[in-house]
Structure 1
Amino acid sequence: MILEVAILDVKPDLTEDFESTFKAASKIIASISGYISHDLHRCLETKNRYILLVRWQKLEDHTIGFRQSPEYQEWRSLLHHFYDSFPTVEHYESIILP
Protein backbone atom coordinates (compact mmCIF):
# COMPACT_ATOMS: atom_id res chain seq x y z
CA MET A 1 0.00 0.00 0.00
CA ILE A 2 1.18 3.51 -0.87
CA LEU A 3 0.15 6.58 1.11
CA GLU A 4 -0.10 9.79 -0.88
CA VAL A 5 0.26 12.87 1.33
CA ALA A 6 -0.80 16.22 -0.13
CA ILE A 7 -0.56 19.51 1.73
CA LEU A 8 -3.26 21.85 0.44
CA ASP A 9 -3.14 25.56 1.20
CA VAL A 10 -6.56 26.91 0.26
CA LYS A 11 -7.28 30.59 -0.33
CA PRO A 12 -8.53 31.76 3.09
CA ASP A 13 -11.86 33.12 1.87
CA LEU A 14 -12.70 29.90 -0.01
CA THR A 15 -12.39 27.22 2.68
CA GLU A 16 -16.13 26.54 3.01
CA ASP A 17 -16.58 26.27 -0.75
CA PHE A 18 -13.49 24.03 -0.96
CA GLU A 19 -14.84 21.62 1.66
CA SER A 20 -18.20 21.41 -0.07
CA THR A 21 -16.66 20.90 -3.51
CA PHE A 22 -14.20 18.34 -2.15
CA LYS A 23 -17.11 16.14 -1.06
CA ALA A 24 -18.27 15.97 -4.68
CA ALA A 25 -14.73 15.50 -6.00
CA SER A 26 -14.20 12.58 -3.61
CA LYS A 27 -16.44 10.45 -5.82
CA ILE A 28 -14.04 11.00 -8.71
CA ILE A 29 -10.90 9.78 -6.96
CA ALA A 30 -12.79 6.89 -5.36
CA SER A 31 -13.68 5.58 -8.83
CA ILE A 32 -10.05 5.11 -9.91
CA SER A 33 -8.57 1.62 -10.16
CA GLY A 34 -6.13 0.97 -7.32
CA TYR A 35 -7.76 3.51 -4.99
CA ILE A 36 -8.21 2.20 -1.42
CA SER A 37 -9.40 5.16 0.70
CA HIS A 38 -8.79 8.81 1.55
CA ASP A 39 -9.10 11.29 4.41
CA LEU A 40 -9.08 15.07 4.40
CA HIS A 41 -7.99 16.90 7.58
CA ARG A 42 -8.05 20.63 8.39
CA CYS A 43 -5.12 22.11 10.32
CA LEU A 44 -5.97 23.58 13.72
CA GLU A 45 -3.18 26.17 13.69
CA THR A 46 -3.53 27.29 10.06
CA LYS A 47 -7.26 27.24 9.28
CA ASN A 48 -6.85 27.29 5.50
CA ARG A 49 -4.35 24.39 5.40
CA TYR A 50 -5.50 20.83 4.79
CA ILE A 51 -3.77 17.49 4.50
CA LEU A 52 -5.13 14.92 2.09
CA LEU A 53 -4.17 11.30 2.72
CA VAL A 54 -4.93 8.87 -0.11
CA ARG A 55 -4.19 5.17 0.06
CA TRP A 56 -3.34 3.47 -3.23
CA GLN A 57 -2.54 -0.15 -3.98
CA LYS A 58 0.62 0.92 -5.83
CA LEU A 59 2.35 4.16 -6.79
CA GLU A 60 1.39 3.93 -10.46
CA ASP A 61 -2.30 3.85 -9.54
CA HIS A 62 -1.87 7.50 -8.56
CA THR A 63 0.92 8.75 -10.82
CA ILE A 64 -0.35 7.11 -14.02
CA GLY A 65 -3.83 5.68 -13.44
CA PHE A 66 -5.23 8.83 -11.86
CA ARG A 67 -2.98 11.66 -12.97
CA GLN A 68 -3.17 10.67 -16.65
CA SER A 69 -6.92 10.01 -16.67
CA PRO A 70 -9.85 12.13 -17.90
CA GLU A 71 -11.17 11.92 -14.32
CA TYR A 72 -8.10 13.83 -13.13
CA GLN A 73 -8.97 16.68 -15.49
CA GLU A 74 -12.41 16.88 -13.87
CA TRP A 75 -10.81 16.71 -10.37
CA ARG A 76 -8.42 19.48 -11.35
CA SER A 77 -11.15 21.73 -12.72
CA LEU A 78 -13.19 21.30 -9.54
CA LEU A 79 -10.40 21.84 -7.01
CA HIS A 80 -7.23 23.49 -8.29
CA HIS A 81 -8.60 27.04 -8.36
CA PHE A 82 -8.99 26.85 -4.57
CA TYR A 83 -5.25 26.45 -3.93
CA ASP A 84 -3.07 29.37 -2.91
CA SER A 85 -0.08 27.53 -4.35
CA PHE A 86 0.19 24.14 -6.02
CA PRO A 87 0.02 21.37 -3.38
CA THR A 88 3.08 19.54 -2.16
CA VAL A 89 2.53 15.83 -2.89
CA GLU A 90 4.69 12.97 -1.63
CA HIS A 91 4.29 9.21 -1.47
CA TYR A 92 5.11 6.92 1.45
CA GLU A 93 5.32 3.18 1.95
CA SER A 94 4.90 1.28 5.21
CA ILE A 95 8.07 -0.16 6.68
CA ILE A 96 6.83 -1.21 10.12
CA LEU A 97 3.37 -2.65 10.50
CA PRO A 98 1.60 -3.24 13.82
Structure 2
Amino acid sequence: MVLEIALLNVRPGQTAAFETAFAQAQRIISGMPGYVRHELQKCLEDDHRYALLVWWETLEDHTVGFRGSPEYQEWRALLHHFYDPFPTVEHFVPALP
Protein backbone atom coordinates (compact mmCIF):
# COMPACT_ATOMS: atom_id res chain seq x y z
CA MET A 1 0.00 0.00 0.00
CA VAL A 2 1.16 3.53 -0.81
CA LEU A 3 0.32 6.70 1.11
CA GLU A 4 0.04 9.90 -0.90
CA ILE A 5 0.56 13.07 1.15
CA ALA A 6 -0.22 16.54 -0.16
CA LEU A 7 0.09 19.68 1.94
CA LEU A 8 -2.51 22.10 0.63
CA ASN A 9 -2.27 25.86 1.16
CA VAL A 10 -5.70 27.29 0.40
CA ARG A 11 -5.97 30.94 -0.57
CA PRO A 12 -7.03 33.12 2.40
CA GLY A 13 -10.79 33.59 2.56
CA GLN A 14 -11.41 30.49 0.44
CA THR A 15 -11.46 27.73 3.07
CA ALA A 16 -15.26 27.36 3.26
CA ALA A 17 -15.54 27.17 -0.53
CA PHE A 18 -12.63 24.71 -0.64
CA GLU A 19 -14.25 22.43 1.92
CA THR A 20 -17.52 22.49 -0.02
CA ALA A 21 -15.71 21.66 -3.26
CA PHE A 22 -13.70 18.93 -1.55
CA ALA A 23 -16.93 17.32 -0.31
CA GLN A 24 -17.87 16.93 -4.00
CA ALA A 25 -14.38 15.95 -5.15
CA GLN A 26 -13.94 13.17 -2.59
CA ARG A 27 -16.70 11.26 -4.36
CA ILE A 28 -14.56 11.28 -7.49
CA ILE A 29 -11.39 9.94 -5.92
CA SER A 30 -13.16 7.33 -3.80
CA GLY A 31 -14.48 5.63 -6.93
CA MET A 32 -11.09 5.21 -8.60
CA PRO A 33 -9.45 1.81 -9.11
CA GLY A 34 -6.81 1.17 -6.46
CA TYR A 35 -8.23 3.74 -4.04
CA VAL A 36 -8.24 2.49 -0.45
CA ARG A 37 -9.24 5.50 1.70
CA HIS A 38 -8.48 9.16 2.36
CA GLU A 39 -8.47 11.81 5.06
CA LEU A 40 -8.46 15.59 4.86
CA GLN A 41 -6.93 17.18 7.96
CA LYS A 42 -7.06 20.90 8.82
CA CYS A 43 -4.04 22.52 10.47
CA LEU A 44 -4.60 23.91 13.97
CA GLU A 45 -1.87 26.54 13.68
CA ASP A 46 -2.80 27.82 10.22
CA ASP A 47 -6.49 27.59 9.30
CA HIS A 48 -5.92 27.75 5.55
CA ARG A 49 -3.50 24.79 5.50
CA TYR A 50 -4.65 21.20 5.03
CA ALA A 51 -3.04 17.77 4.74
CA LEU A 52 -4.59 15.39 2.25
CA LEU A 53 -3.75 11.74 2.92
CA VAL A 54 -4.78 9.16 0.33
CA TRP A 55 -4.00 5.46 0.52
CA TRP A 56 -3.63 3.63 -2.81
CA GLU A 57 -3.00 -0.03 -3.55
CA THR A 58 -0.04 0.92 -5.82
CA LEU A 59 1.83 4.06 -6.84
CA GLU A 60 0.58 3.64 -10.40
CA ASP A 61 -3.04 3.64 -9.21
CA HIS A 62 -2.46 7.29 -8.34
CA THR A 63 0.16 8.51 -10.80
CA VAL A 64 -1.11 6.72 -13.92
CA GLY A 65 -4.66 5.56 -13.22
CA PHE A 66 -6.09 8.57 -11.40
CA ARG A 67 -3.98 11.34 -12.89
CA GLY A 68 -4.49 9.97 -16.41
CA SER A 69 -8.26 9.65 -16.06
CA PRO A 70 -11.10 11.92 -17.19
CA GLU A 71 -12.20 11.99 -13.53
CA TYR A 72 -8.92 13.70 -12.64
CA GLN A 73 -9.87 16.61 -14.92
CA GLU A 74 -13.07 17.06 -12.92
CA TRP A 75 -11.09 16.83 -9.63
CA ARG A 76 -8.66 19.41 -10.99
CA ALA A 77 -11.44 21.80 -12.03
CA LEU A 78 -13.07 21.56 -8.60
CA LEU A 79 -9.94 22.04 -6.48
CA HIS A 80 -6.76 23.28 -8.11
CA HIS A 81 -7.73 26.96 -8.27
CA PHE A 82 -7.83 27.09 -4.45
CA TYR A 83 -4.10 26.38 -3.98
CA ASP A 84 -1.33 28.94 -3.59
CA PRO A 85 1.29 27.71 -4.08
CA PHE A 86 0.45 24.50 -5.89
CA PRO A 87 1.07 21.57 -3.53
CA THR A 88 3.91 19.12 -3.65
CA VAL A 89 2.64 15.55 -3.61
CA GLU A 90 4.81 12.76 -2.22
CA HIS A 91 4.31 9.03 -1.80
CA PHE A 92 5.30 6.91 1.19
CA VAL A 93 5.49 3.25 2.15
CA PRO A 94 6.04 1.75 5.60
CA ALA A 95 9.66 1.98 6.75
CA LEU A 96 9.42 -0.87 9.24
CA PRO A 97 7.55 -4.18 8.97
State TM-score, norm by structure 1: 0.96
Aligned to 2:13: 13
Q: State how far apart, in whole Å, the 2-side matches of 1:85 and 1:28 are.
A: 23
Q: Using the TM superposition, give the Cα deviation of residue 95 of structure 1 relative to its aligned residue in structure 2, in angstroms.
A: 2.5
Unaligned runs of 5+ in 1: none
Aligned to 2:80: 80
Structure 1 runs of 4+ off > 3 angstroms? none
Report how many aligned residue pairs link the two structures. Answer: 97
Any idea what the Cα deviations from partners look like across 1:7-37, whole Å, max 9, x if unmatched? Answer: 0000011000101110110000011100000
1:86-97 alignment runs, 5 A limit: 86-97=86-97
Percent of paired sites with the same residue:
58
Secondary structure at 1:52 match in 2: strand
Amino acid at match of 1:86: F
Q: Using the TM superposition, give the Cα deviation of residue 96 of structure 1 relative to its aligned residue in structure 2, in angstroms.
A: 2.2
State TM-score, norm by structure 2: 0.97
CA RMSD, 1 decimal: 0.7
Unaligned runs of 5+ in 2: none
